[in-house]
A = this chain, B = another copy of it.
Amino acid sequence: MALIYTDDEADERLDDFRDLTTADRRPDRPGGRGLVIAEGTVVVRRLLASPYPVRALLGVERRLRELEGDLAGLAVPAYVTSADVMARVVGFHLNRGVLAVADRAPRSTPEQVLEGARVVAVLEGVGDHENLGALFRNAAALGVDGVLLGPGCADPLYRRSVRVSMGNVLRVPFAPLPDWPAGLDLLRSGGFRVAALTPRPDAVDLCELSGPAEAEGDRVALLFGSEGHGLSDGALAAADLAVRIPMAGGVDSLNVATAAAVAFYEMGRRG
């Protein structure tokens, strides 16, 4: 790794990092360039370990030195500048002191995500980038093997999702699931039981999913809807069963990422 020093905020080599808060940096918007952006040493490290081709790093010297081991042998330019110049380039003050950008890798297919998986999450309408990021963080922590994205989901590779996930969107495999909800047949034909999480009172208790009656090698797909509206009727009808997390009376449902953490944990109890 060679550090490249610059104190020119107009340096064209820093263009990948410019004006990160503007809408055109959102890959899901027209004109969005779709670069993957990692902030902070923990997440940058995960980006370096991911399949995404890293284009460059930008940071203060102290943070880049922390990453020297991770960068050894990589032909990735690492630009060193001051916190002030960095703030003017990216458009805001960045506490974490280091950024990396990468190109997108070719998308996985649902079949690739399901291969070898025992527990996956399938999302419908999870449109909030922070909720989506938090869900990926919980999936990684609690041993979920992949995530499939139905209609209305946010982009896991948007900067805010990457950050809230602590970089786990770069590690947990995901793919869009087209042809909704008929595409859920792909799961069933792969031997997954499709369990829809819902507050409906006729749903069975979540703990029945991990009960002693269940086979050890059982594959399960957990289906989550948006926090506001829950799953669509079509998605509920396409599931094999409906399960609910027992709630105390009169209380709003949990945040979708939190509900997912509880369900992921329950699945882990089987092991």
Candidates B42, B140, B252, B265; contact of A141 at CB < 8 Å: B252
Q: Which residues of A in the span 127-175 have a Cβ within 8 Å of any Cβ on B? A: 134, 137-138, 140-143, 166, 168
User: Which of B248, B268, B269 contacts A142, CB < 8 Å?
Assistant: B248
- CB neighbours of A269 from chain B (8 A): 207
- The verdict on A42 contacting B248 (CB below 8 Å), with A257-B258, A258-B257, A265-B262 known, is no
A140 — which chain B residues lie within 8 A by C-beta?
248, 251
A138 and B258 within 8 A (CB)? yes
* Shortest Cβ distance from A271 into B: residue: B246
Q: How far is the CB of A47 from chain B (nearest CB, A)?
A: 15
A residues 186-235 in Cβ contact with B at 8 Å: 207
Question: Counting CB contacts under 8 A, is A50 at the interface?
Answer: no
Residue in B closest to A268 when the chains form the complex, CB atoms? B246
Does A245 make an interface contact (CB < 8 A)?
yes
A235-271 vs B, Cβ < 8 Å mask (1 yes, 0 no): 0000000000111100111110110011001101101
| Contact (A141, B261) CB under 8 Å given A207-B269, A246-B268, A269-B207 | no
Binding site for B on A (CB under 8 A): 42, 134, 137-138, 140-143, 166, 168, 207, 245-248, 251-255, 257-258, 261-262, 265-266, 268-269, 271
The 4 residue pairs across chains A and B that have the minimum distance between CB atoms: A143-B248, A141-B251, A262-B265, A140-B251
